[in-house]
Amino acid sequence: MAYNLLKGKKGIIFGALDANSIAWKTAERVHEEGGTFVLTNAPIAMRMGQINELAEKTGSQIVPADATSTEDLDKLVSESMKILGGKIDFVLHSIGMSINVRKGRHYTDQNYDFSHKGWDVSALSFHRVMQSLFKADAMNEWGSIVALTYMAAQRSFPDYNDMADNKAYLESVARSFGYFFGKEKKVRVNTISQSPTPTTAGQGVKGFDGFISYAEQMSPLGNATALECADYTLTLFSDLTKKVTMQNLFHDGGFSNTGVSQEVMEKFQ
């Protein structure tokens, strides 16, 4: 159902890889709600994914950018403003990867070159993106910047590995940069801590299927889907949440506040 929530709003969406990704679903929903945007991803991810199909479907242009390159991001910001015809109202940062996870390295046996690369892509990139936007004065007042995170930033999940550290850093950047973006440009910055979701990135985590069903049994409302996350993101892009900033917002069916559920108890009785 469309409400025209984002009519006339313009933005940049990072990280749409395929139809399973939250960024992809968000792009589709933003389009349905009247928003226009530029799609961006790393050149390698663009070769792997189907981003052209999404661009066609939503009438969007694609500007490739490596999120670890300040030069690429500065160029992305200026090109996006040209394409969209002015300043930007919303940005979605939906990027994350861990080479340690991909290569099966245990948390107690990290390859630090892998750790550094993963941190650069997953966490520092959020600061880089905002710094490029900030320096170019690219955001409209009351604009909204959202990054996707996970509760492993607060609690330990054995197989989430170094991505947990990356997410903790990402959430800290949202608070720290959110202060300056709010104070000087009236722009809000938030993170959404989403349920475990079967995206390409999520499925890389060992034991993921078991974990999804555990979270489902633990959450009073069940796990939030990628589409439901897209809907939640839209509310943060809209004018209905103007005073929400520097928050880490749990979108997880109540998982984060549940000590134990009846279903889980029954498995142990």
At 194, list the tokens: 């989403």
Rounded-to-integer distance, Cα 51 and Cα 60, Å: 10
pLDDT in tens, 201-223: 777 777 788 889 999 999 999 99
What lies within 8 Å, CB to CB, of 154 at 6+ separation is: 168
Q: Are 206 and 160 in contact (CB under 8 A)?
A: no
Structure confidence at residue 137 (pLDDT)? 98
Identify whether 150 is a catalytic site residue: yes
Q: How many CB atoms lie within 10 A of CB 253?
A: 19
Rounded-to-integer distance, Cα 92 and Cα 105, Å: 29
At 135, list the tokens: 């320096």
pTM higher than the cut 0.95: yes
Rounded-to-integer distance, Cα 114 and Cα 118, Å: 6
Gap between the terminal Cα atoms of the chain: 43
Q: Does 80 carry a binding-site annotation?
A: no
Rounded-to-integer distance, Cα 103 and Cα 105, Å: 6
Q: Does 167 carry a binding-site annotation?
A: yes
Q: Does 183 carry a binding-site annotation?
A: no
Q: What is the DSSP letter of 21?
A: S
Q: Are 22 and 194 in contact (CB under 8 A)?
A: yes
**Does pLDDT of 123 surpass 90?**
yes
Nearest in space to 180 (alpha carbons), one of 221, 220, 145? 145
Q: What is the mean pLDDT of residues 178-200?
A: 96
pLDDT in tens, 58-73: 999 999 999 999 999 9
At 266, list the tokens: 């029954």
Rounded-to-integer distance, Cα 215 and Cα 256, Å: 10
Q: Does 12 carry a binding-site annotation?
A: no
What lies within 8 Å, CB to CB, of 102 at 6+ separation is: 204
At 50, list the tokens: 């189907």
Please identify which of the residues 3, 107, 112, 150 carries the catalytic annotation: 150
Please identify which of the residues 160, 169, 179, 232 carries the catalytic annotation: 160
**Does pLDDT of 38 surpass 90?**
yes
Ordered by where they begin, the domains of the chain are 10-268 (3.40.50.720)
Percent of the chain predicted with pLDDT > 70 = 100
**Does pLDDT of 116 surpass 90?**
yes
Q: What's the pLDDT band for 102 if we cut at 50, 70, 90?
A: very high
Q: Does 222 carry a binding-site annotation?
A: no
- The letter for the amino acid at 244 is V
Q: What's the pLDDT band for 167 if we cut at 50, 70, 90?
A: very high
Please list, residue by residue across 60-87, b when 16 or more beta carbons sit within 10 angstroms of its beta carbon and e when fewer do: beebbbbbbeeebbbebbebbbeebeeb
